Amino acid sequence: VGDTQYGTPVDVWAIGCVFAELIRGEALWPGKSDVDQLYLIRRTLGDLLPRHMTIFQQNEYYARVTLPTPQVLTPLETTIPINSNTSIHIDFLKKCLDKDPEVRWTCDQLLQHVYFDNYSFKFPDGEMQEFEKLKKFKDRPR
SS3 assignment, position 27: coil
pTM: 0.81
Residue 3 covered by a domain: no
Residue 83 covered by a domain: yes
Determine which helix (DSSP H) or strand (DSSP E) holds 79, and give its type and residue range. Answer: none
Residue 94 belongs to a domain with what CATH number?
A: 1.10.510.10
Instruction: Quickly state the pLDDT bin for 40 (edges 50, 70, 90).
Output: very high
Number of domains in the chain: 1
* pLDDT at position 134: 81
Residue 121 covered by a domain: yes
**Range with the largest mean pLDDT of 55-59, 74-78, 127-131:** 74-78
124 vs 108: CA distance, rounded Å? 20
